[in-house]
Structure 1
Amino acid sequence: MSITTFAVAGATGRLGRHVVDVLTERGHRVVPMSRATGVDVVTGQGLAEALTGAQVVIDVASWHSSDQEAATEFFRASARNLHEYGREAGVARIAVASIIGADKATAGFLAAKKVHEELLLDGPLPVRVLRAAQFHEFVGQLLDWQPGDVAHVPALPTQLVACRTVAEELADLATAPAVPGTPIPEIAGPRRETLAEAARLLGARRGVKVVGVDGAGMPDAELAAAGAFLPGPHATLAGPTFQEWLDAQP
């Protein structure tokens, strides 16, 4: 196996930590990029130094809130800087994690990810996109947002996937030969369920009662209810299920 130098944007985030682990375990050289390591993909601080000698950039940097305008500006700046600094450094390609259904989104964070995809794909460097389902780890975040012993969670269909599984698929995509004309790949978990059903499993462990709601008021809730953000027929489905993942947590 040839050793590649990867620069990972968002390396200390929920998905980024797993990407760094997977690449390191496979024997590659990894340059972690985040504000914690002195690299800011929005301002460009430290980016030129971090990308020196890198062959591939994996972009899993994300905005910390669901505000569409703020997230769009973040992705606009990061896409521009990764292309600009990456081209100057001689980077061969960028691989980026996106979200299943982003291409259909009209509002909210997913609409910002749609812009992110478009900006990256329009840049000078070759870009490979992997669209993933919502993460298992997202369920805990939904409960964390609602302190107390009752949480209201949308009963919207999903096919949750583990961050580690996404990281492995993204690492594969970043190193595999490009195949022109193939659709953007998707990765999702093996079981279709609703966010509320998964949240009840976690809520039972936390002593939180989870009440399923219809998602009214959420961006593109009608699209979500109709299955627009579920994996397509060509998607890769990989475990663990949410229950298996939860059982493995300390």
Structure 2
Amino acid sequence: MKVVVIGGTGLIGSKVVARLGEHGHEAVAAAPNTGVNTLTGEGLAEALDGADVVVDVSNSPSFADDAAMEFFRTATTNLLEHSAKAGVGHHVALSVVGTDRLQDSGYFRAKAAQEAMIRESGRPYSIVHATQFFEFVKSIADFSTVDGQVRLPSSLIQPMAADDVAAGVGRTAVGQPVGGIREIAGPEQFGLDALIRKGLAAEGDPREVVTDEQAPYFGVRIDERTLVPGPGAQLGEITFDKWLARQ
């Protein structure tokens, strides 16, 4: 099976390419540094020629509201058009658990727009909603630091390792189109404040994590279950302790 991975040289994409290759599939890493640009359309026709599946794990280089919307609308339009011309039989996109509950964020409004374009395209598709990655614990802390303190609510989060994200995306890619959303998540739930406190301690980061139920998550106010999946999510195998031990 030929699978073209848009964003295939990034954190998740490179792992998806490697996993698919290990299972005997022809996995093509498509990204600007391999001559494929979804914003301009450059290289898309050539990359998608003969493809059975396209997997989009690309991300906007900017989280600013307008820039993110422009990226996802333009890139998705080009990718859907070229996929249709190439006769690609399955469009897979990686998105985020809780996207529909995070619409106060311009970035998540852009992700919702991407999902809507895929649903309404008439193409066979699967949208994979993943929870937050262990790899972004420090980024959450940095964004949430105010006057040297990390301020976060105790809302639940069920994070996962990038390796498990790639495994979930890869399984979806080689399966039948879902025609909807498949949720994937880590094997454990934490309070968001507790997760970041544990992650920083493991790195020897001295910042204090203060529990503040009014503190936003990347600028958005969340409730207890905004960031966790519903019943039936596919769970990864790598615990946070196991991931920390590998770092």
Cα shift readout 1:37-72 (whole Å, capped 9, x = no counterpart): 111111111111111121100000011333232111
Partner of 2:100: 103
- Pairwise CA distance, 1:92: 1.0
Partner of 1:47: 44
Q: 1:179 to 1:39 in 2, by over 3 A?
A: closer
Question: Quick check: 2:14–2:29 contact (8 Å CA) kept in 1?
Answer: no
Letter in 1 for 2:65: Q
Structure 1 counterpart SS, 2:5? strand
Cα shift readout 1:125-168 (whole Å, capped 9, x = no counterpart): 21111111011111132345589x94515233210011111111
Show the 5 A alignment for 1:59-138: 59-108=56-105, 109-138=107-136
CA distance in 2, matches of 1:179, 1:80: 21
CA distance in 2, matches of 1:248, 1:34: 28
Q: 1:192 aligns with which of 180, 189, 192?
A: 189
Q: 1:118 to 1:219 in 2, by over 3 A?
A: farther
Which runs of structure 1 show a deviation greater than 4 angstroms over 4 or more consecutive aligned residues? 143-147
Structure 1 counterpart SS, 2:229? coil
Letter in 1 for 2:35: G
Letter in 1 for 2:103: T
Aligned residues: 242
Q: 1:179 to 1:71 in 2, by over 3 A?
A: closer
- Pairwise CA distance, 1:244: 1.6
Which blocks of at least 5 consecutive residues in structure 1 are unaligned?
A: none
Paired-residue identity, %: 34
The reply on whether 1:238 has 2:241 as its aligned counterpart is: no
Alpha carbon RMSD of aligned pairs, Å? 2.3
Partner of 1:139: 137
The reply on whether 1:38 has 2:35 as its aligned counterpart is: yes
Q: 1:103 to 1:216 in 2, by over 3 A?
A: closer
Q: 1:56 to 1:104 in 2, by over 3 A?
A: same
TM-score (norm: length of structure 2): 0.89
CA distance in 2, matches of 1:188, 1:232: 10
Partner of 2:157: 158
Structure 2 counterpart SS, 1:64? coil
Q: 1:203 to 1:230 in 2, by over 3 A?
A: same
TM-score (norm: length of structure 1): 0.88
Structure 1 counterpart SS, 2:29? strand
Which blocks of at least 5 consecutive residues in structure 2 are unaligned?
A: none
Q: 1:151 to 1:38 in 2, by over 3 A?
A: farther
Q: 1:206 to 1:39 in 2, by over 3 A?
A: farther
CA distance in 2, matches of 1:219, 1:197: 19
- Pairwise CA distance, 1:208: 3.0
Question: Quick check: 1:8–1:58 contact (8 Å CA) kept in 2?
Answer: yes
- Pairwise CA distance, 1:229: 2.4
